[in-house]
Structures are given as structure tokens and as C-alpha cells.
Amino acid sequence: MEISSMTTTVAHDYYDVGVFTQNFSNTNNSGNDEQQFECMLPVNTNGLAVFVIYGIFANLIGLFGIFGNTISMIILSRPQMKSSINYLLIGLARCDTVLIIIAVLIYGLPAIYTYTGALFDYKFIVYPKTIKYLYPLSCIAQFVTVYLTLTVTLERYIAVCHPLKARSFCTYGRAQVAVLVIVTVAVIYNLPKFWEIEVFNERHWKYNVTVYCVKPTELRSNEHYVTLYINWMYFFVYYMFPFITLVIFNTAIYRRAYVGFQVRKANRDLQQLSRHQRREIGLATMLMCVVIVFLICNILPMITNAHETFVGDPPELMVQIGNLLVTINSSINFIIYVIFGRKFKRIFLKLFCSSKLFVPGRDSPEFQTYDESIVTNTTNIELRNSVRHGHLNRANTVSWNNNIHGTTISNGGTRQQSLKSGRPVSPGSCVYYPGKNLTRSPSQMSRTSNSRNNWNRRENGDSTL
């Protein structure tokens, strides 16, 4: 949610309180009923546009976002999904959910009254008494969302560009500390916003009942406070610094992961990419999509804030569309996880879809879903490979020892020669094998080849999500 646009909606509408009060008094005294005022604002001004953008689209997208973020938090909280990057994504989903709920309470529900006249009690009783707290909470949630996105990008940068440092830096404990620090800084930075809005009451022009309205406090009306803290600091802290940093880190990730990938592909060395490297590239692709969507959805709010900072109050339609885009950004990450996260999609299908629709296999919900986090030392496939190689080495060793001791049975020749020579047969190591024909049929060889191909396919690995 764009804080500057909320400031425009909540505070700038009442910036010249004296002028609005004078106009309101003159209207009532003159008996002119053509233009009525509610909370010192004209009634039904651009009500249809507000209703369509906020009352319909913002509410529907917000409901979908709450549903998707809830599912994301459930899946990312599973024991097999425990990792530092997933912990950061859980925090991002929580903040996005808070932003969506606040967007619905501040924009979506009041917009319904603006055009239809419904939810009168919420508009003039509940909303004025809660906006004083919802507004600062939205600022805190947006701060955390922006810098959690930046932290996720930094984590990917370390994992892809400095893989040797990822084992010590990209840990679950450090992710918890990062979230705690970001939340603490967000609360401290946005503390002054709790004193920017105050409530007053008036008599409603139509129902003749007492209604509650909001207006800016003296702090929010201070010119230096607005210029320095509301405009300049907000533009730098919420937009300029995060945007530049995200572009730099993601450019480095792209150059290291994708350019290197194309070079190996051109040199026919693609098979030399380890399973861990493939997983890192897949995860980097998904998170880069998250960042790209974040940048796209926040370009218009950044332009709106720059317009307010350097020019003046932005057009109302620009503010409304910017708020809708930020709501979309908070609601769309679930779709990105399902599209690009193979493990995320597998667990989602297992938890929320019928298993009868799938057959056991690589992408089946019944397939293994053990932890394959960023800093996993030994994956399950590596364990299976080590066991398989151990069996092969043991079989080769036994065969070699048996050949030395002359106990290999080939048409009975070796043992019969030992008996004819009169020498005792060396005891050797006794290994009993089931009676099988040593010559393999074509079907057996085909099954062996298929099993090896299956092992090779499994070694290609899937991403953390």
C-alpha cells in the first residue's frame, strides 16, 4: 500500500480545514442544497471511479490475496520446507496479508458507501476511530515488505554469487534475526505517524446524527515535517534506495547464474552443472520474478510520490490506481510460487487436491518431499547415490577376492580342477547368491538401462520450493 497516497486520502483532503469549514458553513447558512458536504468534503465526488477501483477490484483482489498468502504460509511452514529463504518468504506473506487487510478496511469498504450509500456505520463510526491506528500499521507493514524483499534478494545474491559464504550467512538463525531487525526499525521509523491524525465529530446533513471524521493534527500540518519526513525521507527510504539496490543485486544474479548457464550450454558442458547449482538457478528464477512484479507494481506509486514531493498533489486517479497495483503486488506471490516452485506445487497438490488425479512419479504428491534447503549438506538423492555406489564397490571387491581364491564357479571348472590336483580348496570368503542365470535376457538388460536412466533423471533435482 502506498503511504503517500494514503496521506493524500486521509490528510491532504483536510489540509486547509479552515477553507472547508467556511465553505461548509456558508452552504448550510445559505440554504443551498445543491452541494452537500460530509466531513467537510463534497458528497459523491467521483464516486463511481472510487467504487470500481476500490469497492470492486481492490476488495476482490484482496480476498484472493488473503487466501493465497494463507496457503503460502501453510506450505512454507511445513517441516520439509524449513530453510532460511522460506522463513523470509513466510514473513513476506504475513506482511502482505496485513497490507491487504488494511487496504480493504481503509479503501475497499468506505468506497462501497461512496457510491451505494451502504455501510454508513462503518464509514462514519468504525473507520474514523480505527484509521488512527490502521494508518501507522500500514506504514510499518509496507516498510517490512519492502526490506524483506530486499533481504530475499540479498540472500539469493550470496547463494548464487558467493556460494562458499552461503553456508555461514544463509542460515535459519540469521533469517530470524534479519526479520526481527527489520520489524524493529520499521516500528521506530513510523512512530510519528501515530500522531498525524485526529478525530472530530459533526452532524450529518441527511440523517441528522452525530458522525465522526478525521483531520490532520498540527504535526501533520507542519510544513517542515511534511517536506522532510513525509516527502523526502519517504521517497528515499521506501523507493529510491530499495529500487536501486534491487536492480544492482538482481543484475549481478542474472550475470552470474544465467550468463554462466548459457556459456556452459554453448560449450556443451551443461551436464557439468551440479544438482545444487541447478536448484540455485531455479530458485533464483522464481525470486527474480517476485522482484520484477514488485518493481512493476510500485513504479506508479513511486511516480506519484515523486510528483507529490517535487510538483504538488498528484491526480486522484493516479493515486487510486497506484494503491490498486500495490494490492495486486501483495496478492500475486502465491501464483508465482505455484508456477515456478516445483516442490511448493507438489505439496500444494498433496494438501489441497485429490491424490486420485495423479500417479506416483516425479511430480506426484506422493513423491518424497524431504528438506532440500539452500544450505543442505547432503540431499536424499546424494544418499541414495552413495548407497548405490557402495553396493557396486562391495560387489566388485567380493568378485575380485573370489577370483584370487579360485572360488569363482564357471561351469564347475575351477572347483573340479582343484579337486583333481589334490590341493585343498581355499576357504575364501563365503558369499551366497541366489540361483540366477548369469546370462541376462534382453528384457532384463532393458529394465537395468531404464533404472539407470531413472537415476540420472532423479539426479537433476528440484528447487527448494
Chain segment 197-219, per-residue pLDDT in tens: 999 999 988 888 999 999 999 99
Per residue in 430-450, pLDDT (tens digit) is 444 444 444 455 555 555 555
421 half-sphere exposure, CB direction, 13 A CA radius? 9
In the predicted model, what is the mean pLDDT of residues 242-268?
74
User: Using 50, 70 and 90 to split pLDDT, how confident is the model at 414?
Assistant: very low
How large is the C-alpha radius of gyration of the chain?
33
Instruction: Convert the chain into a string of H (helix), E (strand) and C (coil).
Output: CCHHHHHHHHCHHHCCHHHHHHHHHHHHHHCCCCCCEECCEECCCCHHHHHHHHHHHHHHHHHHHHHHHHHHHHHHCCHHHCCHHHHHHHHHHHHHHHHHHHHHHHHHHHHHHHHHCCCHHHHHHHHHHHHHHHHHHHHHHHHHHHHHHHHHHHHHHHHHHCHHHHHHHCCHHHHHHHHHHHHHHHHHHCHHHHHCEEEEEEECCCCCCEEEEEEECHHHHCHHHHHHHHHHHHHHHHHHHHHHHHHHHHHHHHHHHHHHHHHHHHCCCHHHCCHHHHHHHHHHHHHHHHHHHHHHHHHHHHHHHHHHHHCCCCCHHHHHHHHHHHHHHHHCHHHHHHHHCHHHHHHHHHHHCCHHHCCCCCCCCCCCCCCCCCCCCCCHHHHHHHHHHHHHHHHHHHHHHHHHHCCCCCCCHHHHHHHHHCCCCCCCCCCCCCCCCCCCCHHHHHHHHHHHHHHHHHCCCCCCC
198 strand-pairing partners = 215
| Backbone dihedral region for residue 461 (phi beyond 0: left; psi -120 to 50: alpha; all else: beta) | left
- The pLDDT of residue 373 is 39
User: Using 50, 70 and 90 to split pLDDT, how confident is the model at 170?
Assistant: confident
In the predicted model, what is the mean pLDDT of residues 403-415?
43
Q: Which residue has the higher pLDDT, 130 or 389?
A: 130
* Nearest-angstrom CA–CA distance, 250 and 295: 12
Given the C-alpha cell 524449513, which residue does it identify?
Answer: 82
Q: Which residue has the higher pLDDT, 33 or 135?
A: 135
Residue type, 81: M
User: Using 50, 70 and 90 to split pLDDT, how confident is the model at 226?
Assistant: very high
- Does 2.40.50.140 match the CATH number of domain 38-350? no
- Percent of the chain topping pLDDT 70: 63
User: Using 50, 70 and 90 to split pLDDT, how confident is the model at 456?
Assistant: very low
Per residue in 137-163, pLDDT (tens digit) is 999 999 999 999 999 999 989 988 888
CB 196 within 8 A of CB 220: yes
* Nearest-angstrom CA–CA distance, 387 and 389: 6
Given the C-alpha cell 470500481, which residue does it identify?
Answer: 52
CB 343 within 8 A of CB 463: yes
Integer angstrom CA distances of residue 458 from 345, 384, 454: 18, 10, 6
- The pLDDT of residue 432 is 43
Q: Which residue has the higher pLDDT, 416 or 196?
A: 196
Q: Which residue has the higher pLDDT, 297 or 170?
A: 297
Q: Which residue has the higher pLDDT, 138 or 4?
A: 138
- The pLDDT of residue 153 is 93
In the predicted model, what is the mean pLDDT of residues 241-257?
89
Domain ranges of the chain: 38-350
In the predicted model, what is the mean pLDDT of residues 11-21?
36
Taking each helix axis from N to C end, the angle separating 84-103 and 172-189, rounded to the nearest 10 degrees, works out to 30
CB 370 within 8 A of CB 380: yes
User: In this model, does residue 35 exceed pLDDT 60?
Assistant: yes
User: Using 50, 70 and 90 to split pLDDT, how confident is the model at 64?
Assistant: very high
* Nearest-angstrom CA–CA distance, 215 and 132: 10
- The pLDDT of residue 166 is 81
* Nearest-angstrom CA–CA distance, 87 and 66: 18
In the predicted model, what is the mean pLDDT of residues 50-63?
95
User: Using 50, 70 and 90 to split pLDDT, how confident is the model at 369?
Assistant: very low
Most confidently modeled range among 80-84, 142-146, 363-367? 142-146
- The pLDDT of residue 258 is 66
In the predicted model, what is the mean pLDDT of residues 316-335?
94
